[in-house]
Structures are given as C-alpha cells and as structure tokens.
Structure 1
Amino acid sequence: MSKNKRIVIKVGSGLVVSEETRAPRFAFLHGLMADIAELRAKGHEVVLTSSGAAAIGLDMIGIEPADAGLQDKQAAAACGQPLIINAYKQVALEFGIGIAQVLLTSEEMENRRRYLNTKNTIERLLKNGILPIVNENDTVTTKEIRVGDNDRLAAKVAQMIHAEEFVMLTDIDGLYDRPPHEPGARFVPEVTDVADFLDATTGKGLLGSGGMLTKMQAANMAQNAGASARIAEGIIEAPISSVLSGRRRHTHCLAHGDPQSAWRVWLTDRLQMAGSVTVTAAAAAGLRAGTQGIGTADLVATSGEYQKGDVLHVYDEQGTEIGRGLTNFSSNETMLLVRCSEEEVSDVLGYDSHSDIIADRDFALLGEHNLSWDRPAESELASMG
C-alpha cells in the first residue's frame, strides 16, 4: 500500500466494549490507535466509525442488552457517549492524535444538503490532521430516522469522502458461505457480487445491532463508490495494516471497476426508504430507456409519507425495482396532483414547480451491482386508480 489513501475503519461494539464488564477494552483501543498512528505517519488519511456508546452506558441505567428498548438505548447512549469518547481521547493522546466526535443520523445521510455539510466538516477535520470518530447519534434518533447499524453508516462515510479502503473489524475473520458454526462452512476470501452471499449472512452479536448481513450491505455500498471493502477479525496488534498488507486472512470485497458518480451513489444507495411509487408498463419502459421522468399519468400506486426532496424507490407493476429518484412533491401533494391531473401545478398547489413527480435528471436506474429493495406490501400501497 504505497499510495497515500483515505481509509475508513469501522469497529463493532464487541471489540470496543467488554461483554462481561461493559467497560472499554483499552488493550484493543491501544492497538487500534497505534495502528492508526502508523497509517497516518505514512501519509494516509483515516476516519474511524465506532460503535459502543449504548453498550457501555447500559450498566449506568441498569438494563440488560437483551431487555433494552429504543428509549433505554437512547438513554444508555447519552450516558455512554462521553465515556467512550473519553476512552478514545486518553489513548489517542499517547500517540499525539487529536480527535473529533461526529454524531450522525440517517437524516444527515439521506438529505442532500445535510450530506454535503457533513462531508465538508469531515474534510476540514482531515485537512487539519484531526481524526474524526463517527457514530450514530442514538440519543436523538427514533426508530423511523435511525440508521440502525454502524456498518452502513461507515460505508456512507466512505462514499462521502471518496475513500479507497473500507475496513470492518469484527469478532470473526471474515465471510463464510454459510453460518460458520455449521459443519462444512467454508471461508470466502474474495467477493465480487455480495448478492451471491446474502443468504449466508444471518445472526448478530449480543452488544451490536448489525451482523454479517449489514456488513455485506455496507461492502456493496463501498464497492459501488469504488472503494475496496474488507472484513476481518479485530485483533490487538496491527489490526488494520495487517489486513491492508495482506498479512492475515480476511474477506476482500473488490471495488467495482466502474465506480459510480457521487450523485448517483448518493441517489441509489439508501439507508431508509422514504417512500415509493409504482409506474405503468409504458413508464417503466421509458425509464429503462432513459427517455423520460415520472409524471402523474405514469403512477399506478404510491406508499409512504414522504416530503419534497426525498428519494423514492420506483417499481414496475410486477414489483421489480427500476431505480430511485428525487421527488419534487410530498406524498400529499402527489395525491392531490393525481386527482387534479387536468389542472396546472400552480393552480393546484399555489406555487410554480416542475410538473414531473420525478424529473428525468433526478432519476437513476439501479445498476448491476446495486442491491434492490422489496416493494412495500400491498396493504401499504395507495392506488392511483
């Protein structure tokens, strides 16, 4: 690894916090920070995404992990955030590294303006030699707006800053073709298409919210942005550099040869589904041919309570996801426009706007390596008929 690179590292709760004592695992943190210091000394820029705040705070509120609900986890995160960042600060000071805490929700990742503001903040920290430590802001997130796992949050950060390497450190040495405790399970050293292995990715840890499934989803997001994703065991000595140099076993998810544009990556790789629309067969053909946007006459059904500027998932009538696009109208406005399709937008809504629900320039087809999402259930769809 001779060229200076941007590296995003994700470490899970089980590595950062002891399951027995629910205290920081300082031996691991010391080995991690020593390796980060070595990478930075070689000219690489590093961003760390760390779980552990809620896990370390559970003792303070007297709740067992298995019994913790959303409000318990929010309170535990509020208790644990200062403890976990202080642990990192103590260790980082030994290596002369300044740190900064960056707390994010899915709103920062899904809203384009907030996304760019977050990107600018992280870029400025890197420019000034500060190590950004990113975590989901569990204290304020609700079930509807939380990312739910730091694997995909870290992948979003890797996309955001155009990282070349994305390393996920966990409690296992990589991906297996079936749950590793099953007889005959085989290690998978290299992955091109993560869709081939999604059926083998069940289960998660006691303290964490993600498992191998979220790691493969995160790897796919990084691959789409041209980053090499690696899944490895979080050992104490040189946990990152030993992976990047190939000195120890790990699963390497190869970067795709045609990384998508920053706009397309942001549009197609989502953390949450804000809403969806189902379009007619003719509209689906036009979208696939790249010859049109989506107008009111093209809609068969819609779902979700979305707002103007949200990204909608677009399906054909068979339930196959075609692509994703930025909507010009809220769900209520969309329904109103469909009912009043013969009238001008300004007459219906009281303001001028693009007439398409999703303009052609704001729509992106799913590519070969994008993971599609299932269409919402029929009971969740509002018919336009």
Structure 2
Amino acid sequence: MAALSDAARLVVKIGSALLVDRSSGALRADWLASMAADVARLRARGTDVVLVSSGSIALGRGVLGLGASDLPLEQSQAAAAVGQIRLARAWEEHLAPHGITTAQVLVTLEDSADRRRYLNSRATLGTLLSLGVVPIVNENDTVATDEIRYGDNDRLAAQVAVTVGADQLVLLSDVDGFYSANPVADPAARRYDHIAEITPEIEAMAGDAGSGLSKGGMKTKLMAAKTATSAGCAMAITEGSRLNPLAALEDGAPATWFTPGLDPQAARKRWISAMKPRGTLAVDAGAASALGSGKSLLPAGLVGVDGRFGRGDPVAIRDVTGRALGQGLVRYTSDEARAIAGRRSDEIEEVLGYPGRAVLIHRDDMAV
C-alpha cells in the first residue's frame, strides 16, 4: 500500500471548510500554520508539493457580507475576485517563514481539455516545481462559467496530479476515508483501508455531494481516484480538520488509499503511444541516438516534417530510413517546425520572429 513518506511529487487538495471558519467566514489561522509546517517538512526531504486550495469564494463572500446561502453566478465570481487575492496572500504569509516561495495558478477546465493549454500548464507547473516553488492552484472562479468549470476541486486536484506527473494525491476531507455507506446515517458502515480497483460495487456505495461551503462528495472523490490512478498516481482520502493533517496521515491516521497499476511515467507513455499521430517528424542519426538515451528532441536534429499539426498534437518520430522511433506531443505547429528544422535553439527567435521553446518534443511528452 502507498505511504506518504514515499511521495516524490505530491498534490494536496484542501477544501473550503478546512480553511475558512463556517460561522465567521475568517481563515483558520492555526490550521493554516500547521499545514504550512507539514508542507515545509515534506519540501525539506525533497518532495515536490502542489496545493489545490479552495477558499476564494468562501473568503470573498465573508468580506462582501453575502451570507452562507447559494449565490448567483455573478456574485460568486465577484466573491472569488475578492477572495483570490486574500487566499494567495494567506498561503504566502504562512509559507514564507519556512523559506518557501509560492505561486498562484488559476485554471479552468479548458486548460486541460485543450492540448495546447494543457502543455502550457504542464510546462509552467513543471518549471515552478523545478525552481523549488509551491504552486497554489485553484479554479479560476472569477471567469469560469458552467461549461468551462471543473465544478469541484476533487476532480481539479486529480487533473493537476496528472498534469504534473505526481505519484501521490491526498484529498483532505471531512471524513477519514471511503465507507461502504454514509457513516453518519449507517453505524454499520465500514471504512476501506485500501482499494485496488474501483468496481461498480464500490461506485454504488458513494453518496451524493454535501452542502454548505464544501461542494465535494464521495462521488466526485471516486471520479478523482479514477483519473489519478489511471495516470499512475496513488490517492488517499483522509480527515483534514485536525492540525498537521499530513503529519497525522504519515503517522498512521485513518485513510483510504486507492492504488494504481502503473507508475505515472509509464501510464503517461502508454497514453501518448495510444494517440493517433497527426504528422511525422524525420530526425538525423544524432537525434535518433539522443532519443534512445532518453533525451528530448531538439530542432537541430529535425530533417523533415510531414503532415499538418498544431501545438500539442501527437506526431510520429522516424529516422531518415523511415524506421519508427516513437511518438510525442509536439511543442510547435507543422509550419513552425519546418521553419526551425536543423536550427539551434538560440536561433529560434530570429527565425520565427518571436521567442520559442528550446525543445521540439520534451522527453516527458514522448514515448520512445
């Protein structure tokens, strides 16, 4: 079974009810400080951490005096606009004393549904993590309407975990795991410590979403588990209202772990391999050798482009004899790729007239 101590890259989802006091609408400063200490401890031992944090609407509605009832879309977006800056500032103020730099990343469903935006998000988050930053991710409630919303941060957190290639996802919840029935209504309900496969029977046990500040429910958590585990990411559901909830989980606090069959890298390679290519890139012998040793594909090694494709589309990679080398998600359009073929990375801006990325296909976006 997975253990938090094994995490190399961790995503943690934090619900509004954990961050914001339900009666006063104020931040739970003691809880936030304990969570910052947990994050600092994980970062100190080399674990990358991404926080998917709710709370902007809950904070904003308190400042604006909008009460606890359901809000119309316009008021929700206004509350989010007011609350987002307070939420980001709160995380910054609590993590900075530990020497941790934070970044705010606001996303919508379109950012993962569109491959070009997905690659942008992946590149930005990956760069932030490589620089030792803790990204604070939230849905961009200020602009998101129903058709471009995730709607809950459980599924958003799972998509973020997939995007950054996390090996573990923790959903801090108001319950300490997945139960066979609602434990409040059924005293005989039992908690599962470990779920290796989400069967129809498991799905039938999930209840509907709750009410109040929290939008999530066990159904959305199962959907998140499906997304995460299919990408090779283990997921835990655990009770998060106690102080230092991640330390408690590591020390054996009750939880349900959903385990994947593959690691994140293998799952991603399989996903890329299954795509239908939109074009073909031919590469020279030097590039073919570099790909075989796990390197990214640079424009300098490109000798031919076939087909029409856009940024983020899957393309086949072949050597000059036509031998298949692999497949990957390309970071340039077909016209751009033709223009920069054979060029060094430092020549790209001169050729295209605008700055470009150094690699044509990153090794993380390639199945060789």
Q: Which aligned pairs between 1:305-324 and structure 2 lie closer than 5 A?
A: none
Query: Given the alignment, which residue of 118, 121, 124 partners 1:121?
Result: 124
**Corresponding letter in the other structure for 2:197:** D
Q: Which residue of 1 aligns with 2:205?
A: 200
- Distance verdict in 2 for CA 1:169–1:73, change over 3 Å: same
- The CA deviation string for residues 76-115 of structure 1, in whole angstroms up to 9 with x for no partner, is 1001001111111111122111100000001111100100
Q: Which residue of 1 aligns with 2:149?
A: 146
Aligned equivalents of 2:116 and 2:137: distance in 1? 19
**Corresponding letter in the other structure for 1:175:** F
Q: Which aligned pairs between 1:95-106 and structure 2 lie closer than 5 A?
A: 95-106=98-109
Query: Given the alignment, which residue of 55, 66, 71 partners 1:68?
Result: 71
Q: Which aligned pairs between 1:30-69 and structure 2 lie closer than 5 A?
A: 30-69=33-72
Question: What is the CA-CA distance between 1:258 and the residue it aligns to?
Answer: 7.0
**Corresponding letter in the other structure for 2:100:** I
Aligned equivalents of 2:30 and 2:126: distance in 1? 29
- The answer on 1:188 being equivalent to 2:192 is yes
Aligned Cα root-mean-square deviation (Å): 2.4
Conserved in 2, the CA contact under 8 Å of 1:194 and 1:217?
A: no
- The CA deviation string for residues 179-215 of structure 1, in whole angstroms up to 9 with x for no partner, is 1112311112111223432223223241022211111
- Distance verdict in 2 for CA 1:94–1:107, change over 3 Å: same
Q: Which residue of 1 aligns with 2:234?
A: 228
Aligned equivalents of 2:86 and 2:48: distance in 1? 25
**Corresponding letter in the other structure for 1:144:** E
**Corresponding letter in the other structure for 1:211:** G
Question: What is the CA-CA distance between 1:62 and the residue it aligns to?
Answer: 3.0
Question: What is the CA-CA distance between 1:126 and the residue it aligns to?
Answer: 0.7
- Distance verdict in 2 for CA 1:237–1:58, change over 3 Å: closer
Conserved in 1, the CA contact under 8 Å of 2:26 and 2:62?
A: no
**Corresponding letter in the other structure for 1:83:** R
**Corresponding letter in the other structure for 1:190:** H
Conserved in 2, the CA contact under 8 Å of 1:32 and 1:236?
A: no
- Distance verdict in 2 for CA 1:180–1:267, change over 3 Å: farther
SS at match of 1:132: strand
Conserved in 2, the CA contact under 8 Å of 1:104 and 1:134?
A: yes
- The CA deviation string for residues 141-193 of structure 1, in whole angstroms up to 9 with x for no partner, is 01111110111111111111111111010111111111111231111211122
- Distance verdict in 2 for CA 1:73–1:267, change over 3 Å: farther
203-212 or 124-133: bigger deviation? 203-212
- The answer on 1:212 being equivalent to 2:215 is no
Conserved in 1, the CA contact under 8 Å of 2:60 and 2:79?
A: yes
SS at match of 1:255: coil
- Distance verdict in 2 for CA 1:77–1:215, change over 3 Å: same
Q: Sequence identity of aligned pairs in percent?
A: 39
Aligned equivalents of 1:214 and 1:102: distance in 2? 22
Q: Which residue of 2 aligns with 1:300?
A: none
Conserved in 1, the CA contact under 8 Å of 2:52 and 2:157?
A: yes
- Distance verdict in 2 for CA 1:241–1:227, change over 3 Å: farther
- The CA deviation string for residues 10-36 of structure 1, in whole angstroms up to 9 with x for no partner, is 111100111111111111111111000
Question: What is the CA-CA distance between 1:266 and the residue it aligns to?
Answer: 8.5
**Corresponding letter in the other structure for 1:43:** G
Aligned equivalents of 1:96 and 1:73: distance in 2? 34
- The CA deviation string for residues 316-375 of structure 1, in whole angstroms up to 9 with x for no partner, is xxxxxxxxxxxxxxxxxxxxxxxxxxxxxxxxxxxxxxxxxxxxxxxxxxxxxxxxxxxx
Aligned equivalents of 1:178 and 1:309: distance in 2? 45
- Distance verdict in 2 for CA 1:217–1:42, change over 3 Å: same
- The answer on 1:78 being equivalent to 2:84 is no
- Distance verdict in 2 for CA 1:22–1:127, change over 3 Å: same
TM-score, normalization: structure 1? 0.66
- Distance verdict in 2 for CA 1:179–1:267, change over 3 Å: farther
- Distance verdict in 2 for CA 1:4–1:19, change over 3 Å: closer
- Distance verdict in 2 for CA 1:264–1:217, change over 3 Å: farther
- Distance verdict in 2 for CA 1:20–1:4, change over 3 Å: closer
Aligned equivalents of 2:130 and 2:124: distance in 1? 10
- The answer on 1:250 being equivalent to 2:255 is yes
Q: Which residue of 2 aligns with 1:278?
A: none
Q: Which residue of 1 aligns with 2:361?
A: none
**Corresponding letter in the other structure for 2:198:** V
Conserved in 2, the CA contact under 8 Å of 1:32 and 1:239?
A: yes
Aligned equivalents of 1:15 and 1:3: distance in 2? 25
- The answer on 1:240 being equivalent to 2:211 is no
Conserved in 2, the CA contact under 8 Å of 1:49 and 1:134?
A: yes
Conserved in 1, the CA contact under 8 Å of 2:7 and 2:168?
A: no
Query: Given the alignment, which residue of 132, 136, 147 partners 2:135?
Result: 132
SS at match of 2:117: helix
Conserved in 1, the CA contact under 8 Å of 2:108 and 2:144?
A: yes
**Corresponding letter in the other structure for 2:258:** C
- The CA deviation string for residues 39-72 of structure 1, in whole angstroms up to 9 with x for no partner, is 0000111111000101111123332333312222
Where does structure 2 lack aligned partners over 5 or more consecutive residues?
275-309, 314-368
- The answer on 1:156 being equivalent to 2:159 is yes
Question: What is the CA-CA distance between 1:219 and the residue it aligns to?
Answer: 1.1
254-263 or 175-184: bigger deviation? 254-263
